Amino acid sequence: MPACAVVRTVYASEMPHEHELVHSAASDLGLAHPFFVEGLAMAFEGGARDAEPTDDEPQPGAEVEPAPRVLTALRERSTWLPGEYYFVAGAFTRYLIDRFGLRQHLEFYRRTWYADPYRALAREFRSVFGATLEDVVADFEAERADCRYSAWRFKLLECEAPEVTWDGERLARYFTLDCDDAAAIGEAGVHVRTVQSFEVAAAGRFRVELRGNPAVRATIGSCGGCERAMLARLRAGEVQELELAAGVISCAPRPTRASR
């Protein structure tokens, strides 16, 4: 596998590997239930997967398979979360954070244990959130179960990135991806990226163009919930017209191969 975390130590073939770094950072909270361990890492793993479509993003015209069920995953007695549940675990974790707040979610995370049976999870869930697990899962599956990874992944780093001010009509920005820049993230000679954000004061249709080295890519994403999905992936020389809703937008330029 490309990476894994053992308590506070991350073994990875490339850095930063945000998913495993989340596991390492969360290890002080205890060994939580596998569904929520992987759910937290998926919700906060950052831009590792933003350059290409992910496995849960349907191809145009393809039939969309229903997402795995949360309660089915929680009732499985396994010390490791099967891979087919990773995306729904992340989506449900993001939903809990959006609905109840991060502090409350981490308190629930801290109270769970990797071998907890469903009954114990349901009891702690009600104690922390003041609602039954079944009711909250039903709300999630009615509102967000079909929410794809690209719609909810912009969470921490991207949405707290330095804000670029503009007049609401035109924004032109030149980025230098330099490994000596403290804001650059990644591995020299492999992938380096930087993240900026900007606020759209009034919804509208905008022409978006990326210029520069042919190896450069950019991802533009919304910092809203699932109702505002990832907006675009652009290659150098590409022009797109986008409908931007009012709110905070994150932009992450990155080359496919980077060097000093």
Over residues 102-150, the pLDDT tens digits come to 999 999 999 999 999 999 999 999 999 999 999 999 999 998 877 777 6
* 119 and 102 inside one domain: yes
Q: Which domain holds residue 30?
A: 3-150
* 85 and 184 inside one domain: no
* 107 and 188 inside one domain: no
* 11 and 109 inside one domain: yes
- Quick one: average pLDDT of 219-223? 80
Pairwise pLDDT comparison (248 vs 203), residue with the higher score: 203
* 24 and 136 inside one domain: yes
Q: Which of 107, 128, 150 is the last residue of a domain?
A: 150
* 195 and 114 inside one domain: no
Please, what is the average pLDDT of the chain? 82
* 84 and 103 inside one domain: yes
Pairwise pLDDT comparison (167 vs 6), residue with the higher score: 167
* 113 and 217 inside one domain: no
Q: Which of 116, 150, 184 is the last residue of a domain?
A: 150
Using an 8 Å Cβ cutoff, are 252 and 195 in contact? yes
| pLDDT of amino acid 133 | 96
Confidence of residue 258 (pLDDT cuts 50, 70, 90): very low
Confidence of residue 223 (pLDDT cuts 50, 70, 90): confident
Distance, C-alpha 205 to centroid of its chain: 25
Query: Has residue 260 got a pLDDT over 80?
Result: no
Q: Which tens digits make up the pLDDT trace of 48-85?
A: 455 555 655 655 555 555 566 899 999 988 888 998 89
* 136 and 226 inside one domain: no
Pairwise pLDDT comparison (140 vs 47), residue with the higher score: 140
| pLDDT of amino acid 257 | 41
Q: Is 63 exposed, middle or buried (0-12, 13-18, 19+ CB in 10 A)?
A: exposed
Q: Which of 150, 174, 199 is the last residue of a domain?
A: 150
* 97 and 221 inside one domain: no
Quick check: is 10 in a domain? yes
- Across 20-29, 45-54, 216-225, which has the greatest mean pLDDT? 20-29
| pLDDT of amino acid 252 | 73
* 108 and 183 inside one domain: no
The number of distinct structural domains making up the chain is 2
Confidence of residue 195 (pLDDT cuts 50, 70, 90): confident
Indicate which CATH number applies to the domain containing 208: 2.60.120
Quick check: is 233 in a domain? yes
Quick check: is 97 in a domain? yes
pTM of the model: 0.74
DSSP string for residues in 38-79: HHHHHHH-GGGGTTS--TTSPPTTPPPPPPPPHHHHHHS--S
Helix, strand, or coil (residue 115): coil
* 141 and 227 inside one domain: no
Quick check: is 30 in a domain? yes
Confidence of residue 160 (pLDDT cuts 50, 70, 90): confident
Quick check: is 250 in a domain? yes
| pLDDT of amino acid 256 | 47
Quick check: is 260 in a domain? no
